Amino acid sequence: MSFQIDDLSKTEKNAKFNIDKSEVLKSYTEIVKLFQKDADLKGFRKGKVPENVIESIYSNQIKEELKARLINLNIRKLGLEKKINIVKTKNLEHEDLDKNSDFKFSLNFEFIPEIKLSKYDSLVVEKEIFSVKKKDIDDAISNLLVNFASNEEIKNRKKVNKKDILSINFSGELNGASIKDLTKEDATVEIGNGSLIPEIETQLSDMKIGEEKVFDVDYPKGFPIKEAAGNKIKCKIVVNKIFKRIIPKLTDEFLKKIGFDSKKKLRERISEDISRSYVTKSESTLRKNIGDKLISKNSFDFPSSFIEDEEKRLSNEYINRMNQQGIKIDQIDEKTKLVIAESANRNIKLALIFAEIARLEGMSVTDGEIEKVLISMANDQKVAINKIKKYYKENNLLDDVRVRITDEKVVQFLISKAKIKEIKSKDVKKVKRSP
């Protein structure tokens, strides 16, 4: 075998191969013998079919098998000889294959260049420490009470006020055609909580029970319902009922209902829960800071297909998550695409850095460690371990588990070696949510 390599970019090369006819014939003979061993033809004993008969009957299959073997084998040889980590091939071109002639083919391949890491075993990183405050507990109790709130119909008032809870009928049309996913009967909405499109909330704010309004609304481009997104929709609203939220008081009766015999016990439990969540948050910020530090200290190139594949994976995850929440989408808005692209870039860089650290530190994963993770999954999902094993084997996911375990070993190694500066967090950022 001989080959010629030409650079196309920092992460892609073109390779031209010439496979000597002796190697071609050798591989051809080996493949014919394998076909002969398994052949079961009428009139012949199994494994005793003459080679000329095998060659005649299985000519096309033999040729395809030979081609695949010669290409794959010699790509691996190239990678080993030149110490190139080939990750993807494309644009394959080849001549007609003949067992008695040289075989020439060419292709492009992406590869991971050598990654030279800066010093990573003494990173200086910050770890945010959160303390439980009285306000945290008070807010948690307020949220708890809201969760047990009930809606009581207001029968002596006909007009909508700010912060009212309404039962409405809603529908939307585009070019005279009804939009199914916008049509709602007896839908519950709340004025003033930020969950409604401002134009709709404005129209609702001065309506009366039984009143019907028809008006146009410019739906934002990122709206999750495809037919409405970025379009002017003719909306129709009817207000059915007005409610007010009745929030229970923190009485002894309520405490008993939720399993506590005193306010003190409730506050203690909430404090413990918040404290645990803060520990998790603190560890999460530390891990993120370590990742950010590694990325900032190490610059290197990697194949564009890595980013493309990761963006595709994250996009599918996002769409599935939205669909599970009842938000049907088949396209992603530009703002979300940008976030996904940034996440994909970070994920790939960190994955390659972690892999290189694991290699340099001689980290490996045993079958027993994989088994332990699978057992944990089975217990969490309340599924038989054999089913979990079968699923992961059939879907080629065991390597993913191996990578996950390796990455965790790398993180723990980096934490153990890092110089960690603990800083007290003044405020915990609160995320605004829709009901």
* pLDDT of res. 161: 87
How far, in Å, CA of 144 to CA of 408, rounded?
Answer: 35
Domains of the chain: residue spans and CATH? 2-112 (3.30.70.1050), 150-246 (3.10.50.40), 261-424 (1.10.3120.10)
Backbone angles phi, psi at 131, to 5 degrees: -115, 145
Q: pLDDT band at 250, cuts 50/70/90?
A: very high
The yes-or-no verdict on residue 47 having pLDDT over 60 is: yes
**pLDDT tens digits for range 307-352:** 999 999 999 999 888 877 766 666 788 888 999 999 999 999 999 9
Q: What is the pTM assigned to this prediction?
A: 0.75
**pLDDT tens digits for range 122-166:** 999 999 999 999 999 999 999 999 999 999 999 888 899 888 999
**pLDDT tens digits for range 48-59:** 888 888 888 889
